[in-house]
Amino acid sequence: KQEVTQIPAALSVPEGENLVLNCSFTDSAIYNLQWFRQDPGKGLTSLLLIQSSQREQTSGRLNASLDKSSGRSTLYIAASQPGDSATYLCAAFDSNYQLIWGAGTKLIIKP
Partner 1 sequence: GAVVSQHPSRVICKSGTSVKIECRSLDFQATTMFWYRQFPKQSLMLMATSNEGSKATYEQGVEKDKFLINHASLTLSTLTVTSAHPEDSSFYICSAPDRVSGNTIYFGEGSWLTVV
Is 33 or 77 the residue whose CB approaches partner 1 more closely? 33
Q: Which amino acid is at 39?
A: D
How many whole angstroms separate alpha carbon 43 and alpha carbon 88?
12
Near partner 1 by CB under 8 A: residue from 9, 10, 44, 108: 44
Is 58 or 70 the residue whose CB approaches partner 1 more closely? 58
Is 71 or 102 the residue whose CB approaches partner 1 more closely? 102
Q: Which burial class, exposed, middle or buried, applies to 18 when counting CB atoms under 10 A from its CB (0-12, 13-18, 19+)?
A: exposed
**32 touches partner 1 by CB under 8 A:** yes
**20 touches partner 1 by CB under 8 A:** no
How many whole angstroms separate alpha carbon 80 and alpha carbon 73?
19
31 phi and psi angles, rounded to 5 deg: -90, -35
- In eight-state DSSP terms, residue 51 is E
**104 touches partner 1 by CB under 8 A:** yes
Near partner 1 by CB under 8 A: residue from 40, 60, 83, 111: 40
Is 36 or 80 the residue whose CB approaches partner 1 more closely? 36
76 phi and psi angles, rounded to 5 deg: -100, 125
Stretch that binds partner 1, among 8-16, 64-72, 73-81, 98-106 (CB under 8 A): 98-106
